[in-house]
C-alpha cells in the first residue's frame, strides 16, 4: 500500500488546508503523472514520490492563502505545472493559465490537464513577452527569473490593481533592491512547508511606487 495519501493528508493538516477526497486523489494522480513522464520530459530533478509531494505539491499550495479575490491567474514558466496545477485542483473556481516556452513541458501540461479533468486550466506555449490581449488578477512564478525580470517581462499581463505573487527560496533582499521604481513590495512572508527544510518566502509586488 502506498504511503502517499497519509503523507499528503498529514501535510495538508499541518498547513490547515481542507480538501475533498477527490481533490486529494487528483494531487496524487498529478504526482503519478510527474513520475511517469519525468524521464521523457525532464520535468523535475526529484525522483521520489514523497519528495515530489513535499517539494512540489505542498510547496505549491503555500500560494492558496494569497488568492482572495483572484479570478484569473497565470503561472509563468510553469515547467512541470508548479504551482499552477496543484492550485487549479484546489481552486476550481479560478481560471488558471500555465505558460512555458518549452514545448515538451507544455505537451506534458496539456496531457496532465486532460487526464486530471481540469476544465479551469489553459496551457500556452511561448515566451511571456508574446502574450497579448489578456490581463490577470495575479501573476505567479516559482522559478522563472529574478524579481526584476519577472516583473518587467510580465507587466503588460497584470491588471492595474493586480499583484505579483513571487515564490522564492531565501529572502531575496538584493532582488527586491533592484526592482523598477514603478512597482513596490507590499509584503514578504516567510512560509513553512511540511517536510521541507529549505527556506521559502512569498514576495507580493504591486504596481505603483510605494507610498
Binding site, residues?
Answer: 77, 82, 128-129, 142
Which residues, in sequence order, are bridge partners of residue 2?
A: none
Q: Which residues contact 43 (CB under 8 A, 6 or more apart)?
A: 34, 37, 79, 80, 105, 108
Binding site for S-adenosyl-L-methionine, residues?
Answer: 77, 82, 128-129, 142
Q: In what order do the strands lie in the sheet with 95-100?
A: 121-125, 95-100, 72-76, 136-141, 158-168, 200-207, 183-191
In 3D space, the residue among 46, 71, 72, 70 whose CA is nearest the CA of residue 59 turns out to be 46
Q: Which residues contact 45 (CB under 8 A, 6 or more apart)?
A: none
- CA–CA gap between residue 35 and residue 108 (Å, rounded): 12
Amino acid at each position: 500500500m502506498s504511503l502517499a495519501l497519509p503523507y499528503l493528508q498529514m501535510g495538508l493538516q499541518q498547513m490547515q488546508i481542507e480538501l475533498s477526497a477527490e481533490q486529494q486523489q487528483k494531487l496524487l494522480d498529478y504526482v503519478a503523472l510527474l513520475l511517469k513522464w519525468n524521464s521523457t520530459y525532464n520535468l523535475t530533478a526529484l525522483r521520489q514520490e514523497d519528495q515530489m509531494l513535499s517539494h512540489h505539491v505542498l510547496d505549491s499550495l503555500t500560494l492558496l492563502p494569497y488568492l482572495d479575490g483572484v479570478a484569473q491567474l497565470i503561472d509563468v514558466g510553469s515547467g512541470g505545472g508548479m504551482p499552477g496545477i496543484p492550485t487549479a485542483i484546489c481552486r476550481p473556481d479560478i481560471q488558471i493559465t500555465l505558460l512555458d516556452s518549452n514545448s515538451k513541458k507544455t505537451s506534458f501540461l496539456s496531457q496532465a490537464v486532460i487526464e486530471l479533468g481540469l476544465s479551469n486550466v489553459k496551457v500556452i506555449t511561448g515566451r511571456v513577452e508574446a502574450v497579448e490581449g489578456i490581463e490577470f488578477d495575479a501573476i505567479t512564478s516559482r522559478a522563472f527569473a529574478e524579481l526584476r525580470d519577472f516583473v518587467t517581462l510580465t507587466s503588460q499581463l497584470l491588471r492595474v490593481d493586480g499583484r505579483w505573487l513571487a515564490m522564492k527560496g531565501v529572502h531575496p533582499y538584493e532582488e527586491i533592491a533592484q526592482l523598477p521604481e514603478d512597482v513596490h513590495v507590499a509584503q514578504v512572508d516567510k512560509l513553512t512547508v511540511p517536510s521541507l527544510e529549505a527556506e521559502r518566502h512569498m514576495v507580493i509586488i504591486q504596481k505603483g511606487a510605494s507610498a
